[in-house]
Chain A
Amino acid sequence: MVASSIKQFLSTLLLATLFFTSQMAYAVSSIQVSVGSIDSPLGQIKDAQFHVDLKGKKPKLNLIAAVKPQSEPDFIPFKLVCGTLLSGRAGYIDCLDGQLTSSIVNAPFSAHVTQQPTQLSFDILFNGINFSDATGLHAAEGLVGDLQFNAKKKNAVWQWDGQLNWDEGEVFWEPFYFGDAGSAFSAKGYANTKYIVVEDARLLVKDVGEMHAMGKIDAKTKQLFDVKVNAQQVDFDGLYTLLLKPTLERSTFGSLVVSGKANWQFAMKDAQPANFQLKLMDANIEDKNGKFAFNHVNANIPWDYDIPQNISLEYENGYLLNLPLGQTKLKAELNRYALTAPELVLPLLDGALCFKDVSAAWLGKNWFWHLRMDLIPIDLNQFSTALGWPVMEGQISGQVPLVTYASKQLSMDGAMTFNVFDGTVGMKNLRIDDPLGVVTRMYADLTVWKLDLAELTRTYRFGVIEGKLDGDVKGLELENWKAVKFDASLQTSADDQRKKISQRAVENIAALGGEGTAAALQRTFLRFFDNFNYDKIGISCKLRRDMCEMGGVAATPEGYIIVKGSGIPSVNVNGYNKQVSLTDLLSRIKRITDGNSIVIVK
């Protein structure tokens, strides 16, 4: 704004100077003019002092004034010098070795201006322009290049064309940075009293590619009316780095590594977005924070304000929160600010998430999603390994009647089922806050039916326990996927028949209790038995932060019973520590299941 106002003022000034120089008499050695103030729709100029020195061989111009563009609160003093001011004939002027200086700009330049009733043209060579506003967030350094402009008037219409070549220097215009010179801009069009029309603008951006544009601008308000922008086969990395990333810095897509090619077009009509199309060709997109990646992406995303459009997106593979994604082809309909699809299948490990009746709407700068979800069985071993959880055997499957995502919150109405260790774990009331954010919280309620202890203990090399467990984990709360709160209770299933526990498992359970837990194991006699019968196994933990308030199948005056023996031979395992740190407990389980230590029961 400041620069453009100064440019306009500069032309006015040069034309005024022309008036003086073209009528000068040889007897005159200098011309001096003072102007108190000039008002224009663009701003004000005050305290202007023109001085044209005619004494030497080459006339010189000095101008000191203060300018106040409408957008600025204060007047900015500036000085304009033309080292050589030439005017061979009326309407032509050269300002050579020129310099424009103020607190915000230092611009060495040479300019040639032609002003005729039906013609205006100028050619400005700039040679090291430095510019910065007070905040330093809009600045340029060392700009070298040239700007050419020609306009001819015919029947009250100005036909114009212009070209800007940028050879050296860098520009930062928050949030955009253009560091590599070598870009060029050319445009042509016409202007009348109402509109400035750009018929063909060509912008060649180094490391990105070429863009074409046309548009119509209101001559008075400078509002952009009709615009069409079209870019074919541009470099997606260049486009992302230069134009997309700066506007996405704080979003999920602000830290990506991308490659591939893109076609892009955009149109506005009557100052409103009219249509848009983005095509990605063999693009790769990876989040630097490792939260997601999509490889070999091909997408066609058209959008039209009036006509619903079909969009498609395909990728060969990728991952989401460490979960590998298989080849995926998605199709949906985009109707103004709403997206719908009867079915979207997202292959995940050996199964898939099958989203049905998908509807999404863009309201108030947020996406709102509603859908149903069927889980095509996913192998739990691969799933738990991928997430870095303890390895589990089984499958995840289920149907979720309603999944919603709004305001960074994902929630499910309905139940998901994990077929795990020959039993079933049902999950309901699932809610995930900010799933891709810094702090992710997950809430759920779990119910466990008939978990086969034989499979569980074999998997974790815990010793062998035969029997089944029922129970629940109520109010489960995970903070960044770590448990911080739940009320869990697991105990032997009511109708369970075969209930045996190996000596090693007894020792390991006892060891879980730490120093305070002792097994009522009469080693002198019972050590000869590999297995014992039991009546019930039960353990409960009321977790708050890292502290578990422990319980078992029954309370004792000193603690609680974890394994209640039955028959002959039988064994009881009692717990005495009512408060156990979950971190300690997990590290003990890890030590035991890793099999790296020998557990000694005292």
Chain B
Amino acid sequence: MIQLGMKQFISYFLGLMFLTMSVVHAAPNLEVNTPAINALKNSMQARHTALASHYESGAIGLTANGLIAVRDAKALPLKDRRGINALVASENSDRSRLYKEVAVANSHPEWEASIQDAFAGRWIDKAQGGWYYQSAGAWQKK
């Protein structure tokens, strides 16, 4: 019980510290543009055509950490399951790189994790009705 209390205290303390830091630091500019970010966006845009139908069928969903995952390959005809893992891996590679590049473009490489969190929320907010996203470890249909 005491241990739990201490844990809660540390959580509150860290939360307070984070809030204070957020006030002190400028918010990251998620719209920043660099040739690298443009290249990543173009690469993701080109892939989106292939991904969109998978989001709609529920085969692929948005994860809580700003990436995507195969949710249910069985939602697809067999021929459309080809390359689905590679597609997800390539998209995640671009997304991870995007978060890193946005942090670098903001001159704060150490912001990568919080930028990834911010994007995660954005992807889910922008997701179309019927797409799946992860929340508290479970898949939810938007």
Contacts and interface: CB of A to CB of B under 8 A. Distances in A.
B68 to A, nearest CB: 15
A249 interface: yes
Contact of A137 (B79, B81, B86): B81
A382 interface: no
A479 B36 contact: yes
Contacts of A132: 74
Nearest to B81: A172
B22 to A, nearest CB: 25
B139 to A, nearest CB: 14
Judged by DSSP, the binding face of B is helix
Please indicate which of the listed interface residues B74, B75, B97 has the most CB atoms of chain A within 10 Å of its own CB.
Answer: B74
Interface residues of A, number: 28
Interface stretch (B38-46, B110-118, B125-133): B38-46
B81 A439 contact: no
Nearest to A479: B35
Interface string A171-184: 11011010100000
B34 A139 contact: no
Interface in B44-94: 70, 72-76, 78-79, 81-83, 85-87, 89-90, 93-94
A479 B87 CA distance: 24
B12 to A, nearest CB: 39
A439 B82 contact: no
Contacts of B79: 170, 172, 177, 179
A479 B93 CA distance: 18
Contact of A250 (B34, B90, B97): B90
A478 to B, nearest CB: 8
Contacts of B105: 545
Contact of B35 (A136, A170, A482): A482
Given A137-B73, A438-B43, A254 B86 contact: yes
A439 B97 contact: yes
Contacts of B76: 136
Nearest to B59: A136
B73 A136 contact: yes
Contacts of A482: 35
B81 A438 contact: no
Given A137-B73, A249-B83, A438-B94, A179 B78 contact: yes
A479 B72 contact: no
A203 interface: no
Contacts of A174: 81, 85
B81 A545 contact: no
A497 interface: no
Contacts of B39: 438-440, 479-480
Nearest to B87: A249
Nearest to B33: A546
Given A438-B40, A479-B34, A175 B82 contact: yes
A481 B85 CA distance: 30
A480 B35 CA distance: 6
A246 interface: yes
Interface string B11-47: 0000000000000000000000011101110010000
Interface in A428-483: 438-441, 479-482
Contacts of A53: none
Nearest to A134: B74
Contacts of B83: 175, 246, 249
Contacts of B101: 439
A140 B77 CA distance: 10
Contacts of A439: 36, 39-40, 97, 101
A480 B38 contact: yes
A135 interface: yes
A300 B97 CA distance: 38
Interface of B: 34-36, 38-40, 43, 70, 72-76, 78-79, 81-83, 85-87, 89-90, 93-94, 97, 101, 105
6 contacts: A136-B73, A136-B74, A171-B78, A175-B85, A177-B81, A438-B39
Given A171-B78, A246-B86, 15 more contacts: A136-B75, A140-B78, A141-B78, A172-B78, A172-B79, A174-B85, A175-B82, A177-B79, A250-B86, A250-B93, A254-B86, A439-B97, A479-B39, A480-B38, A484-B34
Query: What 10 pairs between A and B have smallest CB-CB spacing?
Result: A249-B86, A136-B74, A136-B73, A479-B35, A482-B35, A172-B78, A480-B35, A177-B82, A480-B39, A439-B36
